[in-house]
Amino acid sequence: MIRSVLNTISRGLTLVCIVFMAAIVAVLFYAVVMRYVFHNPPSWSMEVSRLMFLWTVMLGSALVTRENSHIQITFILNALPKTPRTIWMVTMNLAMLFICLIIITEGIRIYPTVSEALSPSLGLSMGWFYLCIPVGAFFMALYVTENLIRTVNEYIRSLRSERNPCH
């Protein structure tokens, strides 16, 4: 049940990232054509593409967190025996969860202040630019929690199978 909800969330985030990346390409292509062909660059193109880029980075970071695909050096981790490796992975997941919670709380704390400012060319609340930080960190925390639970469950399952190899 929970896994299917998380899968649905991941599909939604992936779709948002795909749409935003395609829109960034379209907006920037339009801006280049307008600038170099018609000598009339749009004032809003950089702002719109920056907004979509920020959201794509934060949501994409959450997606790669779920897949445990962030850059990491694994040769030492892979050389460790099962128990120390699991302890290390649990510790890292707890540290990541703690950092995500700090980012969420600080992002929520600064949101009212930054949302009062307006973006220069669109007049859009700067809150939209900063909101991606706590939202992305929330999804990262969700996926780190999933990874943490999966790591502990896999470890417990492996211990049970070692004690009872018939099952």
What confidence score (pLDDT) does residue 166 get?
Answer: 66
Q: How far apart are CA 45 and CA 127, in angstroms?
A: 18
Q: What range defines the domain where residue 93 resides?
A: 2-163
- pLDDT(17) > 70: yes
Domain count of the fold of the chain: 1
What confidence score (pLDDT) does residue 56 get?
Answer: 98
Among left, alpha and beta (phi > 0; psi -120 to 50; other), residue 68 is left
What confidence score (pLDDT) does residue 69 get?
Answer: 82
- At 112-167, the pLDDT tens digits run 999 999 999 999 999 999 999 999 999 999 999 999 999 999 999 998 888 876 65
What confidence score (pLDDT) does residue 167 get?
Answer: 58
Pair of tokens at residue 30: 């339009």
The distance in angstroms from the start CA to the end CA of the chain is 25
